[in-house]
């Protein structure tokens, strides 16, 4: 693996916390992701299911975790099933994890090969009343493809129809939203790799460069620093495509006088970073571009002060909307009549700032977390205000990653990534 794994004490703790929330006389099962086919014999690179990674640290396909907390035998309280290497596998793919390696990564002592799973499951299923199944219930979830987990759940409920069913996801939503300090260190490493990529492109960008060339500069720096690559599809949007929130074509030539909005982040050890910066192609903002840029930056700076223990996502977004409204009045994009005619459902600022202000960050870029829950220490959030002006041919978004602290303002994991307009111009023109 490219990254330094976390101590297995983290995964022991995660499993213990999960089992403490389970109902009595129950068991839970978690599956790895599939390796997804493209066509012919080609496949997408494997990405581990973040739930089983959170509970085991195992980053390999065909892995299953079974948790049975009421067991009187330590050997069946936590069981990990892994893929067995055979001669064919060793030649074509290389050896898979050994039982010893899987134990060292996960801290689980009872490790079997995947062929033993159904027999062991059957022996435990006869003793329990409830199965915990792991459906994806993230508020942004959109899964048109049946996953390995989905197939398992269908098989389980068909073959064991008399059991009660409970859901793992509500437990994981809360537990995964609060990070261990070592997890925050992994996110910080991802942010540091992102900083290296951004500093590289600041020296590279000039008029006539292509968006995909900028993307290539980022990926070079990311992979060169122990990352698998982008944590999500990168947005390198120049000109009026600054205003397309999820522009990922990255296929245009950048022209003098335009801005480039870059929403990119490196991953490290399956943990995501998420950064947005908007910079001038020619190395110099116009007067109007800088005016809007500084308005967005002021919103971000003021909003940062609100990421405190006890606030919550919904209220936070409303508070940021009030800050944004004042800035839009200052730069002449809305007026008092717009304020007078706005409604709660359709506030005036939404014309120029139409997306959410923030989301949880961690093993997923849009990580787990229940939006109605109050902010707690060691939750990690993005903060990404923007002003989008298609009529003027540009838009600006700025984004950092922040950790809620027990008291006071959050810790900015991207504090060393340049963001002031003058600093960006200075770095681009050195």
* CA-closest candidate to residue 296, choices 393, 394, 392, 398: 398
Residue 231 pLDDT > 90:
yes
The H or E element that residue 31 is part of is strand 26-31
Dig out the tokens for 380 from the structure: 């990690």
Task: Say how far apart CA 326 and CA 338 lie, in whole Å.
Answer: 12
Predicted local distance difference test score (pLDDT) of residue 48? 98
Order across the sheet with 400-403: list the strands: 380-383, 400-403, 411-412
Domains and CATH numbers, the chain: 8-177 (3.40.350.10), 181-428 (3.90.230.10)
Residue 144 pLDDT > 90:
no
The tens digit of pLDDT for each residue in 396-415 reads 999 999 999 999 999 999 99
193: helix, coil or strand? helix
**DSSP letter assigned to residue 162:** T
The tens digit of pLDDT for each residue in 20-79 reads 999 999 999 999 999 999 999 899 999 999 999 999 999 999 999 999 999 999 999 999
Residue 200 pLDDT > 90:
yes
**What count of other Cβ atoms lies within 10 Å of the Cβ of residue 424?**
21
143: helix, coil or strand? coil
**What count of other Cβ atoms lies within 10 Å of the Cβ of residue 382?**
24
Which contacts of 69-75 are long-range, i.e. CB under 8 A and separated by 24 or more positions?
69/19, 69/22, 69/26, 69/27, 70/24, 70/25, 70/26, 70/128, 71/124, 74/109, 75/109, 75/110
Q: How many residues does the chain have?
A: 430
Predicted local distance difference test score (pLDDT) of residue 141? 87
Residue 418 pLDDT > 90:
yes
**Would you say 417 and 195 are in contact if contact means Cβ atoms under 8 Å apart?**
yes
Predicted local distance difference test score (pLDDT) of residue 326? 98
Predicted local distance difference test score (pLDDT) of residue 130? 98
Split at pLDDT 50, 70, 90, the class of 143 is confident
Q: What share of the chain has pLDDT > 70, as a percent?
A: 100
Residue 1 pLDDT > 90:
no
* CA-closest candidate to residue 410, choices 419, 401, 418: 401
Task: Say how far apart CA 118 and CA 281 lie, in whole Å.
Answer: 58
The H or E element that residue 315 is part of is helix 313-330
**Would you say 210 and 254 are in contact if contact means Cβ atoms under 8 Å apart?**
yes
Residue 102 pLDDT > 90:
yes
What's the pTM?
0.97
Range with the poorest average pLDDT among 38-42, 113-117, 245-249, 387-391 = 38-42
* CA-closest candidate to residue 110, choices 83, 153, 73: 73
* CA-closest candidate to residue 271, choices 235, 224, 227, 217: 227
Strands (E), 195-312: 235-238, 259-264, 267-268, 271-272, 275-280
Work out the burial of residue 302: count CB atoms within 10 Å of its CB; fewer than 13 is exposed, 13-18 middle, 19 or more buried. Answer: middle
Task: Say how far apart CA 38 and CA 141 lie, in whole Å.
Answer: 22
Predicted local distance difference test score (pLDDT) of residue 136? 92
Average pLDDT of the chain, as a whole number: 97
């Amino acid at each position: 693996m490219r990254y330094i794994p976390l101590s297995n004490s983290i995964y022991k703790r995660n499993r213990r916390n999960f089992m403490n929330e389970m109902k009595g006389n129950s068991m839970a099962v978690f599956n790895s992701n599939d390796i997804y086919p493209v066509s012919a014999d080609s496949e997408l690179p494997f990405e581990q299911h973040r739930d089983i990674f959170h509970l085991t640290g195992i980053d390999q396909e065909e892995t299953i975790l079974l948790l049975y907390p009421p067991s009187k035998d330590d050997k069946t309280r936590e069981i990990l099933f892994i893929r067995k290497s055979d001669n064919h596998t060793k030649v074509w793919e290389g050896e898979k994890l050994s039982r010893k390696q899987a134990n060292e990564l996960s801290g689980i002592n009872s490790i079997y090969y995947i062929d033993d799973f159904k027999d062991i499951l059957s022996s435990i299923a006869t003793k329990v009343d409830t199965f915990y199944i792991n459906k994806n219930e993230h508020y942004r979830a959109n899964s048109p493809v049946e996953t390995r987990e989905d197939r398992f759940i269908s098989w389980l409920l068909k073959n064991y129809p008399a059991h009660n069913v409970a859901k793992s996801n509500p437990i994981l939503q809360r537990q995964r939203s609060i990070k261990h300090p070592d997890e925050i260190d992994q996110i910080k490493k991802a942010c540091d790799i992102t900083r290296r990529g951004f500093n590289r492109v600041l020296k590279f960008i000039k008029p006539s460069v292509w968006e995909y060339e900028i993307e290539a500069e980022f990926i070079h720096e990311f992979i060169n620093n122990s990352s698998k690559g982008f944590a999500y599809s990168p947005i390198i949007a120049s000109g009026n495509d600054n205003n397309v929130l999820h522009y990922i074509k990255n296929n245009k030539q950048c022209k003098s006088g335009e801005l480039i909005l870059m929403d990119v982040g490196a991953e490290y050890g399956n943990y995501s970073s998420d950064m947005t910066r908007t910079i001038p192609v020619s190395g110099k903002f116009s007067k109007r571009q800088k005016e809007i840029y500084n308005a967005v930056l002021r919103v971000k700076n003021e909003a940062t002060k609100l990421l405190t223990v006890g606030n919550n996502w919904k209220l936070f977004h409303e508070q940021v909307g009030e800050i944004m409204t004042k800035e839009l009045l200052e730069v002449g994009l809305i007026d008092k009549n717009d304020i007078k005619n706005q409604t709660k459902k359709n506030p005036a600022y939404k014309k120029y700032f139409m997306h959410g202000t923030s989301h949880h960050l961690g093993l997923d870029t849009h990580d787990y977390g229940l939006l109605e829950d109050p902010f707690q220490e060691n939750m990690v959030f993005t903060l990404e205000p923007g002003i989008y002006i298609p009529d003027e041919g540009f838009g600006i978004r700025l984004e950092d990653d922040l950790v809620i602290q027990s008291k006071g303002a959050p810790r900015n994991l991207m504090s060393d990534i340049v963001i002031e307009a003058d600093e960006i111009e200075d770095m681009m023109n050195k």
